[in-house]
Amino acid sequence: MEGGLADGEPDRTSVLKEGRKIFLKIKMNLHFLCQRASLNL
């Protein structure tokens, strides 16, 4: 049981890091799309 918990710990942090990267990427893409949309208007 303890070994399983220890193994799961790094995975959780790496998942959070990946999620943060993806979130930032989407945020940047949305910002870029909004800028382009406002320019087209």
pTM equals 0.56
pLDDT digits (tens, 9 = 90+) for 1-41: 455 555 656 678 898 999 999 999 999 999 999 999 988 77
Residue with tokens 């959780």: 12
Tell me what pLDDT residue 11 has: 78
Tell me what pLDDT residue 1 has: 45
Please report which residue ranges of the chain form alpha helices under DSSP H.
Answer: 2-40
State the Cα–Cα distance between residues 2 and 4, nearest whole angstrom: 5
